[in-house]
Amino acid sequence: MGSNGRSQQMHQTRIDLPQDLRIQVIAVLNQSLASTLDLKTQVKQAHWNVKGMDFFQLHSLFDEMAEELEEYIDMVAERVTALGGMAMGTARTAASRSTLPEFPFDILNGQDHVMALADRYALYAKEVREAIDTTDELGDADTADLYTEISRAIDKRLWFLEAHLQTSAETLSLNGADSETETPKAKKTRAKK
Ligand SMILES: [Fe+2]
């Protein structure tokens, strides 16, 4: 994470946030910009290439998701510039800095596309949630709020994706498995067995 050692070019601004704080927040934002751009292109990849009986609904859903990510790309990039920084949003920068794995090119059907996107949305959701905490701790409530908005939408999309995969058998198999959502009490009970 961070600006990959590249120095941040800063512009003069009348904003009342100290420059050292802004530099740190901008590094977080530019990291998110790379991951969000990467995720958007992967969702488009799925939109174009998904096949099977669910083609049309997935094709449409994926396009809606890509449009939503496009809005967040703009929000994140423009928060960078509002803080006096330079938004790093080219395809090359996104590819080199994104934390997400490349989209698989050997898949065809709807379920595999949904699974690949759910894996990536979960990773991205974690990155965004960490960014809420980091920017909040740095003292930039506005950027933390921007991330909170994105986080809520991404969690909702992850639900949309996972709802396609949650057959009753798969849902049941999570019980007693290594679920991170397991309560400490349930974990203890299971450990005793
Ligand atoms: Fe399209």
How far away, in angstroms, is 47 Cα from ligand 1 center? 7
DSSP character for 84? Answer: T
Cβ-based neighbours of 75, under 8 Å, separated by 6 or more = 146, 150
Q: Tell whether the model's pLDDT for residue 192 goes beyond 90.
A: no
Q: Any idea what the CATH number is for the domain that residue 43 is in? A: 1.20.1260.10
* Predicted TM-score (pTM) of this structure: 0.85
pLDDT band for 8, please (50, 70, 90 cuts): confident
How far away, in angstroms, is 154 Cα from ligand 1 center? 21
Tell me the residue range of the domain where 86 lies.
19-98+106-165
| pLDDT for 167 | 81
User: What are 148-175's pLDDT values in tens digits?
Assistant: 999 999 999 999 999 999 986 665 555 5
How far away, in angstroms, is 45 Cα from ligand 1 center? 10
How far away, in angstroms, is 42 Cα from ligand 1 center? 13
Domain count for the chain, please give it: 1
Residue 182 lies in a domain: no
Residue 11 lies in a domain: no
How far away, in angstroms, is 106 Cα from ligand 1 center? 20
How far away, in angstroms, is 51 Cα from ligand 1 center? 14
- Geometric angle at alpha carbon 36, from 5 and 60, rounded to 5°: 165
Residue 34 lies in a domain: yes
Residue 153 lies in a domain: yes
Q: Tell whether the model's pLDDT for residue 120 goes beyond 50.
A: yes
| pLDDT for 21 | 97
**How many helices (H) does the chain have, and how many strands (E)?**
7, 0
How far away, in angstroms, is 102 Cα from ligand 1 center? 20
- Geometric angle at alpha carbon 133, from 130 and 137, rounded to 5°: 140
| Mean pLDDT (whole number) for 110-116 | 98
Residue 72 lies in a domain: yes
CB neighbour class for 77 (10 Å; exposed up to 12, middle 13-18, buried from 19): buried
Residue 81 lies in a domain: yes
Q: Tell whether the model's pLDDT for residue 23 goes beyond 90.
A: yes
Cα 104 to chain centroid distance, Å, stands at: 17
Residue 193 lies in a domain: no
How far away, in angstroms, is 62 Cα from ligand 1 center? 9
How far away, in angstroms, is 101 Cα from ligand 1 center? 23
Residue 161 lies in a domain: yes
How far away, in angstroms, is 49 Cα from ligand 1 center? 10
How far away, in angstroms, is 60 Cα from ligand 1 center? 8
